[in-house]
Homo-oligomer: A and B are copies of this chain.
Amino acid sequence: MVVKVYGPMCGCAKRVMVCLTEKEVEFETIPVDVFKGKHKDPEYLKLQYFDAESRAIMRYYSEKYRSQGVELLGKTIEERGIVEQWLEVEAQNFHSHAYNLAIHLLFAKPFGITQDLKLIEESEAKLEKVLNIYEERLSKNKYLAGDFFSLADMSHLPFTEYIVNTEKVYLIRDRKHVSAWWNNISNRPSWKKVVEMDKAPI
């Protein structure tokens, strides 16, 4: 079965695509043009209630295809517990600040949003604090959940990629262990493939 990934080439869709790639699951993308408001179509909304369910989709495919591709949930219940802890950290402590920076530094113009300089400043300061904790964590472990790559790392790929494409790249580059971690995970063939797909004309 070929999995259909609906959505624009946004961070959420990329999160699912890199997961399917690591799990060696074939997929096709069905573009949804957000600039034309297609993500509000009743037909599209039937497919999902909210637009923040990419982590649930990643968990589902990682479990369904547990026996193939890269193990992304950890090998034991204890390892999965730590993967879930850092997935939660990404969703609750990292994402909203990274999202604000991406939207206001990269996408304000195409989306017709007024750039909010105060929000950029606040998000940057909050992300600094979060990344200081990451720096400490990654000084002891190669990956967030331990010495194995997992959904916890993967979930950071789309929005960290946005950040390193802005003037705020220093947030990643100036932290030795965060920077090494980013170089490591962003050079995985799965993520390179997703980045290439993003560059391709639809």
Contact = CB atoms under 8 A, between A and B. Distances in A.
Interface of A: 48-50, 52-53, 55-57, 59-60, 63-64, 77, 80-81, 84-85, 87-89, 91-93, 133, 137
B63 A80 contact: yes
Contacts of A92: 50, 52, 91
Contact of A49 (B48, B53, B137): B137
Contacts of A48: 85
Given A56-B88, A88-B55, A88-B56, A133 B50 contact: yes
Contact of A60 (B52, B63, B81, B133): B81
B55 A133 contact: no
Contact of A88 (B52, B81, B85): B52
Given A52-B88, A84-B59, A88-B52, A77 B64 contact: yes
A60 B79 CA distance: 10
A156 B133 CA distance: 28
Residue from A48, A56, A64 having most chain B Cβ neighbours under 10 A: A56
B91 A91 contact: yes
A3 to B, nearest CB: 13
